Amino acid sequence: MKATVAWWDLSGSGHSIASLRAYLRDEAVDRFASVEGLRLKFWIADPATERWGAVLLWESAEAAARPLAPRAAELIGRAPVQYTVFDVEATVEGVHTLPGLPGPGLIREEPAGRA
């Protein structure tokens, strides 16, 4: 398995974490649900530094190497400042009380239209 991590600096992009949550809710989550070879994707944000990103877990190096439509880069107006591919040494899911994935995230907690 492979993991990829992408980070964007949103400062000066005209986008905020809130505006990108609307993109997740309206488009991205459903689109990525049908990507072949993708085991898991979660989007991450750091409001204090205006950073937005994603972590993707792929079933193989071949799946991780397939090009994806650069929709986030299109919206933000630039490529990520960091894009790294990692080998996955192991995975585990611990004991928790949350419902199964796709799990609650801030896009599920914020009403639509509040971007």
Q: What is the pLDDT of residues 23-77, one digit of tens each?
A: 888 888 888 989 999 999 999 999 999 999 999 999 999 999 998 878 889 999 9
Query: Model pTM?
Result: 0.83
Backbone angles phi, psi at 63, to 5 degrees: -65, -40
Backbone angles phi, psi at 105, to 5 degrees: -145, 180
Q: What is the pLDDT of residue 102?
A: 60
Name 25's Cβ contacts closer than 8 Å, sequence gap at least 6.
107, 112
Average pLDDT score, the chain: 87
Q: How far apart are CA 23 and CA 71, in angstroms?
A: 10
